[in-house]
Amino acid sequence: MKNNQFAQKSVNLNTVKQELAQIGFDPVEIENSKNVADAFLKLLKKALVNVNDKSSQIEKLNNLLATPDQQLGNYLVNNGEINQQVFYLVVLQLLQFQADVDFKINDPISAMKKINLAYIPKTAKWNKNDLLKAWYLLLTTHTKNGQTYLDHLANQGFFKGISKEHPLFFNGKAQAIFEPNDLIYETVYVETDTDSDKDGNADLIKVEITRPKTSFKLGTLYTASPYDQGTNDDWGEQMTHNVDEPLARKEPDDTTYSDIQYQKQPQKFSTRKTMGFSDHATEHHTPKPGYTLNDYFLMRGYAVVYSSEIGTKDSDGIQTCGSHAQTDATVSVIEWINHKRRAFTNRTDNIEIKADWSNGNVAMTGRSYLGTLANAAATTGVDGLKTIISEAAISSWYDYYRENGLVMAPGGFQGEDADVLAAETFSRSLNPGDNLKIRPFFDRYLASMKNLMDRTTGNYNEFWDERNYRNDISNIKADVLIVQGLNDWNVKPVNAAKLWQGISHLPINKKIILHQGQHIYINAFRSFDFNDIVNMWISHELYDVDNDVMEQIPNMIVQDNVKPETWTKQKSWLDNSGKKYYLNQHGLTDTSETGQLTYHDQLDQAEFKQYRISPQKWAKDLLDQNGPLKANQLLFKTPNLTEDQIISGFPKLHLRIATSKNVGLLSARLVDYGEANRLNVTPTTLVPKGLLLGHKWYTDDLREFTLNKHPTPSKMISFGHINLQNRHSSYQNDELVPHQFYDIDLTFQPTFYHLPAGRKLGLVLYGTDFQMTQRGNQKIDYTIDLENSYLQVPHK
């Protein structure tokens, strides 16, 4: 195991004493101890949360070793001194590491170094101040199960008797002092600034609040989740589009951006008349586990708010999949929390209720669609939104459902599109009476949406421009923490990369974390202190805690794809220069050569049927130079690399290409070749329900990225696709004459990839992508002019 803690803050001795005192480890009592061993004994007894009598305490401590041949309890009673060896042998046991498995009992410091645990370097005899500093450091150090030792104590009830009048901060982070029975569950209805169902009235949306019982004004974690009130999975499956359709010829045109630029139109609708005020909610919601990061913060003195927004169960409006109306509704909740908008106790009586429990500060959380709405809200510049934690989040819906003039499936969801997602999340349909009233209007909207999103051409148009949040990046005032999986082919890395580029010059704080996973949350990983990072971040953002988080946390953290449990700080991602590789008969080389190579797109019906059923088999066969698809691809490789390479940024491909028809598409994959045990992109569950989120509270599975036990011959690094009729832009159609060569530039998905020495870098060119593009199985041949074709790979 290797521990990676970025949010463990070094503090001076005065701070050590002050913060230990506020959680019950009294420095005065320690200083008055008869010796250092006695002081250590007092600290340990206080950490035995559920053991109160002296004899039992010594017995429990005797389950631990102080030296290879002395039990801890007896040692502390009979000795006066503590040194580094004794203390860190005890520490490894307290942190739940196993003797003779994780460490050697006669050499604890080697284990501390190997596991990457912080320790006091002093080797001479310790004094009481050394002990206090070491104890403080221990409390902020992670156990084998991925939480700080202080969290481990809190989960046993360490903070049961402490005051809950306000959040408690230790080492710059909020601590789990609250209990589940301290929570209040309320439901209110926020009036928005949109009328998406066109009934002439401002849409009212249901908002569910969970908050600790305290008089202190709370900061709020807000998650806008269209899924939270239920989904229509069967309806979505019925609406899924057929992708076995031919690529359509597009009439050449000279469309410019101004022709398709979205212009927001003003709305006219009525708002409610307040008929009275209430200081308490009259509706309540049932407790249920949510996003576990939010659940983690409920015990730490934050309110958590969920809203499914417009078009969902018990709310007005319709689902619009990323439109301005959805953004307006999302922002309305922030404005209510920030005391600048009305909410009501129910849907009918117009009794207004204020967020009088709120300090007005909001952080938005959530992954995928949830993080997408955080992006959307941030681009409005709404007051009160202090930060967003944007996890695997869309920054432009075109980059989710389209690519360079092609219909493009998010990974694993062939045939899904904006209309399908709108139907799936239209949970108003789950209330039959409400569905009777609204369904005809929504069905008409879906029909219009299907036309506007345009699966025929795949082009960028006004529909997609409305759903491009990057158009409004300059409005962002909130600080931004981006989290993105480098193997996420659902919400692809381009969404995070272009958001990161767009905010780079804004006067806000911004940080990015790149992990090696797919479309996942990363808040329950053993090797990485993500929860601590977010805790430090929002403690500063929502409670103005002066914890130096902006200096403490690197601007960029990247997980290595070769070494397990390795996370490093990096200076840059997208601004690296590239190495040019030319395409020729012998692979990827430093020099160009003349010649042409051809590949075909059509498969016989048996092969086509096989790959339709199993796109995973197609993806595996595609990377095999001598496999069943060798006529349907061109594969180029470098020689074995003589040294490690870090590919960092957007790989780019320039081709001179001709097609046998007046339609065509180019697909390309960048590949790591070489037999190796690679890091799994799906995390392994180490301990089911092994991560406790608070005392007698919810749990999460403890997970980690592990090495595949079986070697694999290759791994896709990145990919790109383009319609050959969209050589200049995704909204302009170019002419495509059969057998005529055209220059085309294709930008791949951005990556950060460690390619070890001894491996080969590969490039695969092909047409139809069975996992992502439409599958027309057309008889099209593609020819590459090698002399004018090259790959540019960004290296650190």
Asked whether the beta carbons of 734 and 725 are under 8 A apart, the reply is yes
* Cα three-residue angle 332-338-343, rounded to 5 degrees: 50
* CA-wise closest residue to 420 among 453, 467, 459, 463: 453
Q: Scan for tokens 């790979």, then name that residue.
A: 793
* CA-wise closest residue to 528 among 113, 152, 151, 7: 7
Active-site residue (options: 142, 152, 324, 519): 519
Element (H, E) at 761: strand 760-766
Alpha helices in 349-388 (DSSP H): 369-378
DSSP string, 459-525: ---HHHHHTBGGGGGGG--SEEEEEEETT-SSS-HHHHHHHHHHHTTSSS-EEEEEES-SS---TTB
Residue type, 734: D
Cα-flanking dihedrals φ and ψ of residue 168, to 5°? Answer: -110, 130
Residue type, 765: L
Element (H, E) at 344: strand 343-344
Task: Give the whole-angstrom CA distance, residue 296 versus residue 178.
Answer: 11
Give the chain's end-to-end CA distance (angstroms, integer). Answer: 27
Residue 289 CB partners (closer than 8 Å, separation 6+): 295, 698
Asked whether the beta carbons of 317 and 343 are under 8 A apart, the reply is no
Q: Scan for tokens 């790149």, then name that residue.
A: 514
- Segments of 161-230 assigned E as strands: 169-170, 173-174, 183-191, 204-212, 218-224
Cβ neighbourhood burial of 14 (10 Å; 0-12, 13-18, 19+): exposed
* Cα three-residue angle 338-381-204, rounded to 5 degrees: 55
- Segments of 56-137 assigned E as strands: 65-67, 70-71
Cβ neighbourhood burial of 574 (10 Å; 0-12, 13-18, 19+): middle
Active-site residue (options: 196, 332, 358, 368): 368
Task: Give the whole-angstrom CA distance, residue 761 versus residue 639.
Answer: 8
Number of neighbouring beta carbons within 10 Å of residue 725: 28
Please tell me whether residue 349 adopts helix, strand or coil conformation.
coil
Active-site residue (options: 203, 488, 734, 769): 488
Tokens of 730: 């995704």
Query: Is 519 in the active site?
Result: yes
Please tell me whether residue 21 adopts helix, strand or coil conformation.
helix
Sign of CA pseudo-dihedral 20, 24, 25, 29: positive
Q: How far from 206 is each of 7, 267, 326, 778, CA to CA, in Å?
A: 36, 22, 14, 49
Query: Is 278 in the active site?
Result: no
Please tell me whether residue 390 adopts helix, strand or coil conformation.
strand
Query: Is 166 in the active site?
Result: no
Element (H, E) at 310: none
Number of neighbouring beta carbons within 10 Å of residue 773: 22
As annotated, the active-site residues are 368, 488, 519
